[in-house]
């Protein structure tokens, strides 16, 4: 079992407008594109972590990981830690190293 918790992260992804030429005067902002990603939550200051990012790895074993995912902290909207079928919200403090 990994020493890192499993987390569900909701974050604002970059997204594109409709294709083709658009009249900029009639463009309407449709808000953020919120996506959900889950994986092993690795602190920014730990091996495999990244400064100023929330780091998730799909799989971790024997000090190795596969499919790392690095989400800029400014884009994170919510983090939930999954433990024994429950979730713990971490709405504050995401700009500091996470457990």
- Is residue 23 situated within a structural domain? no
User: What is the model's pLDDT at position 85?
Assistant: 53
How do residues 51-70 score in pLDDT, each as one tens digit? 999 999 999 998 899 999 99
- The answer to whether residue 42 sits within a structural domain is yes
- Any domain includes 20: no
What global pTM score does this model have?
A: 0.75
Average pLDDT of the chain, as a whole number: 84
Q: Exposed, middle or buried by CB within 10 Å (0-12, 13-18, 19+), for 73? A: middle
What confidence tens digit (pLDDT) does each residue in 68-90 have?
A: 999 999 999 999 998 765 555 66
Q: What is the 3-state secondary structure (H, E, C) of 69-89?
A: EEEEHHHEEEEEEEECCEEEE
- Please, how many CA atoms are within 13 Å of residue 35, restricted to the half-sphere of its CB? 9
In a domain, 45, yes or no: yes
- Residue 99 belongs to a domain: no
Q: Is residue 95 a part of any domain in this protein?
A: no
Domain count, the chain: 1
């Amino acid at each position: 079992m990994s020493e890192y918790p499993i987390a569900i992260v909701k974050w604002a992804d970059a997204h594109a407008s409709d294709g083709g030429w658009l009249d900029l005067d009639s463009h309407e902002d449709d808000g953020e594109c919120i996506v959900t990603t889950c994986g092993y939550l690795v602190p920014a200051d730990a091996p495999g972590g990244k400064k100023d990012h929330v780091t998730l790895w799909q799989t971790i074993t024997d000090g190795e990981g596969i499919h790392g995912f690095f989400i800029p902290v400014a884009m994170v909207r919510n983090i939930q830690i999954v433990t024994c079928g429950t979730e713990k919200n971490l709405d504050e403090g995401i700009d500091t190293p996470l457990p």
